[in-house]
Structure 1
Amino acid sequence: MIGEVNGEAAPSGRRPYDGRRRRELAEESRGRVLAHARELFLSQGFGGTTIAQIARAAGVSAESVYKNFGGKAGLVRAIQEQSLLGVGTLPAEQRSDLAQTTATDAVALMEQFGRFAAEVGPLDAPIVLLIRDAAASGDADMAALLREVDDARYRRMLHNARQLIAKRLLRPGLTPSEAADVMFACTTAELYESLVGKRGRSPEEYGRFIARTLIANLL
């Protein structure tokens, strides 16, 4: 029987190349690796977890993990980036930008920021704390990653501050750096650790705390 590939006849006996299915399988494999890596890192710690354990749990080879992620630090970076997406159909950052673009009520927007924090915090904060602890133990790669994560978060807060000041949604007289510092302080993993991990607050209560703090200091 004659098959067709991209509208052209393919030699008999050969299956057409299905690039989409291959990409889907690769994404499924990547998802399994990240899910099992997250579970093992958070239960055993960064130093106590090996690539071999992660590969075995995910049903892939250790070589493929190294090829796709470059090692444990690369895996943690990928997990942290994935955490920032949140759980919505659109990444949390995109939803935040949309909320800022359409906002007319500053209080409602700060409350929305709190809800974003309640959504992303449970995913992101434990991984940032893992990075922090590994960096404190002397791991140079994780120390560098911690700086990258903090720098990226500050750049994001400065972006937010500039947008909000341009829309005149913040208190007059606030500079972008002052507003960014407030938002930066409100989104530290240590704050999540204190309120949720140590004080037993729910993520929703944590989000409301952030919203009230933003309202009190920015509006």
Structure 2
Amino acid sequence: MSSAVNGGERTGKARAYDASRRRALAEEARRNVLAKARELFLDKGYGATTIAEIARAAGVSPESVYKNFGGKPGLVRAIHEQSLLGAGGTPAEERSDQAQLTATDPRALMDQFGRFTAEISPIGAPIVLLIRDAAASGHPGMADLLREIDDSRYRRMLHNARQLVGRGLLRVGLSAEDAADVMFASTTAELYESLVLKRGWGASRYGEFIAALLRANLLGDR
């Protein structure tokens, strides 16, 4: 009986290991598909890129891409969601929340927001611009996705603004709604497009500009 029990324990551990390994391999394959899709979309454009090309580049079947992402709109959505995590190990949104909860110097916090913007914009802005251009060309679902992204970004900015107003970190008399509008305008893909893609600014300079913009509009003389 002891041998049977021990054998059962070993089998259970092996199955748990196998399941964990399968999940890890599936996640690795998913990241690879998204990376190849991102490269192709940004190189060729949304309309000219096919699922077959993405699957071939990622070494998977087109059927698996459809199964996991539901086609090109689902791929673009997943790429955008991935970009919001930022480049650090901890998602940028979590780091931002932590910074807002612990900050005591509002000017230093605006500098931190600038650094977050400099980190996320090079990853996320090109995808938003891809969606914008696809929407303008009439590709199904892209206009709805663009509105969804803007709505989500505004809700995030309002969340940030309410935290800052609640902690008394912004200039006196500034409402959370007005602060959210400033933060919303400061994080548009179009602003990144104008200054970085068209005028050739580096990411660090762009982040410093955003920090200065936020300090001037949210803090005043504080």
Give TM-score, length-normalised by structure 1: 0.94
Per-residue Cα deviation, 1:136-187 (whole angstroms, up to 9, x for no partner): 0012301010001000000000000000000000011111110000000000
Q: 1:96 to 1:137 in 2, by over 3 A?
A: same
Matches within 5 A, 1:143-154: 143-154=143-154
Note the residue ranges of structure 2 that are not aligned, 5 or more in a row: none
Residue from 7, 10, 17 that aligns with 2:9: 7
Tell me whether 1:186 sits opposite 2:195 in the alignment.
no
Identity %: 69
| SS of equivalent to 1:7 | helix
| SS of equivalent to 1:190 | helix
Matches within 5 A, 1:76-87: 76-87=76-87
The residue aligned with 1:215 is 215
**Counterpart residue type for residue 203 of structure 2:** P
The residue aligned with 1:134 is 134
Residues 119, 203 of structure 2: 8 Å contact kept:
yes
The residue aligned with 2:175 is 175
Tell me whether 1:39 sits opposite 2:56 in the alignment.
no
| SS of equivalent to 1:47 | coil
The residue aligned with 1:65 is 65
Q: 1:9 to 1:125 in 2, by over 3 A?
A: closer
| SS of equivalent to 1:139 | coil
Q: 1:210 to 1:4 in 2, by over 3 A?
A: farther
Q: 1:16 to 1:176 in 2, by over 3 A?
A: closer
- Give the structure with the higher percent helix: 2
Quote the Cα distance in structure 1 between the aligned partners of 2:88 and 2:11.
42
The residue aligned with 2:201 is 201
Quote the Cα distance in structure 1 between the aligned partners of 2:8 and 2:78.
34
Q: Which runs of 4+ in 1 moved over 3 A?
A: 2-6
Note the residue ranges of structure 1 that are not aligned, 5 or more in a row: none
User: 1:36 offset after TM fit, Å?
Assistant: 0.1
Residues 47, 139 of structure 2: 8 Å contact kept:
no
Quote the Cα distance in structure 1 between the aligned partners of 2:11 and 2:74.
43
Per-residue Cα deviation, 1:85-134 (whole angstroms, up to 9, x for no partner): 01111000000000000000000000000000000000000000000000
User: 1:3 offset after TM fit, Å?
Assistant: 10
Q: 1:46 to 1:4 in 2, by over 3 A?
A: farther
Quote the Cα distance in structure 1 between the aligned partners of 2:150 and 2:134.
15
Aligned length: 215
The residue aligned with 1:106 is 106
User: 1:7 offset after TM fit, Å?
Assistant: 1.3
| SS of equivalent to 2:141 | helix
User: 1:6 offset after TM fit, Å?
Assistant: 6.3
| SS of equivalent to 2:154 | helix
Quote the Cα distance in structure 1 between the aligned partners of 2:42 and 2:50.
13
